[in-house]
Structure 1
Amino acid sequence: MTVRVVLADDQPLIRAGLRVLIADTPDLEIVGEAGTGAEAVALVEDVRPDVVVMDIRMPDMDGIEATRRITTARVIMLTTFDDDDYVYGSLRAGASGFLVKDMALEEILAAIRVVAGGDALIAPGVTRRLIEEFAARPAPRPEARPVGGVTDREREVLTLVGRGLNNREIAEELYISVATAKAHVARLLTKLGARDRVQLVILAYELGLVTPPTGGSTT
């Protein structure tokens, strides 16, 4: 099955590099390009892609607002993380992935396939930076509180998801099968109205189930 992709970036060179790479990839197809967030939203409505590779900083409408308005495709944010403090906002808006532009193009292709398959993906290192961003926020972290409709076991699973564990690691931690861990995650997605695993991570922090480190090194 071919994954249909829209590229949204105000830098033509970025789009050109991805376009050339994807053109040589038989299971991926570029079905449109946009230079602004507003163009991306309109284009997605028109061509109905599977995945949108979206820059955060664009004229007219930024990638966060565009992602919030896109409901028919999965969005991967692609940006320069060190120059951008919008990671949290983009994931909260519904992005299924967050990648940095200095990643190898082959890694970006792999991420497109992962997100098209229904999973979420954050570039290595970005998760730690996101946690540090939480820790740096002046507002105190909330106390852990009950999560309506979620069982004690699902709460344990949500906490481990928030710590960044995958299904296999969750299974090992709780002495359950990988299939059972996967089923718990699926039920959490439904009960909490989360689009994917990334949003579960955010919810775990917002609910106080996971507390970011404070005063640690950023190296």
Structure 2
Amino acid sequence: MTPSMQYRLSLDFPHFDIRKSIIRIFRDPDAPDMDGKRFVVVRKVLTPEEIVRFDADNDAYWQYRNGEATEAFLKAAARDAWQTKYGEPIPECALEEERDPETTMASCLLPYDGTVSLTEEESHAIAAVDGDLTMDMVWLVVEGLGWRPGKPVPLDDPGWRAIWAEEEECCMYIHIIRELMGMPFGSNDFCDESSWKPLAVILAGECDGTQKQHADTDKI
């Protein structure tokens, strides 16, 4: 595991972290598109032991994630959450409109519904992203790192290590996040992979990895 991924996993927001919970979105497809989107987000939080086990056994993870017991748990949670949020039973079409946050465009779930309240301007920053900004990415930024969409963050902020950890597993991740934060790459940087790595990752590398080894050698 890379140091950046270790940092990423140290973030404590399990209810919105797809690496620590199995999360589902149930959305009413018949609701109006403007200011009438109705949805609930439910999750099954994994234990630390389950996280370790599933990290080592991908097949076991998918079997558990898609298993009947997990599906029943999440749908029961969706029924309860819908009743609490809207004061009525969840429509059957919403139960059938089951989505993963990794494949749900963030613009489909506005206004934002999380533990953090976003301003209208910040919501507009989410809607304005041209790339494939999915809900799990927004949760990492807002719930995990405490960043505000549309507000640039210095590249030496440690949070960029978490973004880089995701970039290493999903190319172009950092491009979308930078656009979300109002700091897109320039036309030259976009084609220059060496410029993609944030300063925070480079600085961390001086303390863990080959750069530290070189530094120790120089002291001898």
Question: Which TM class, normalised by the smaller chain length?
Answer: under 0.3
Larger relative helix fraction: 2
Q: Which has the higher strand share?
A: 1
TM-score by structure 1 length?
0.26
Relative to the length of structure 2, the TM-score reads: 0.26
Which structure's relative contact order is higher, taking Cα pairs within 8 Å and 6+ residues apart?
2
| Higher-Rg member (1/2) | 2
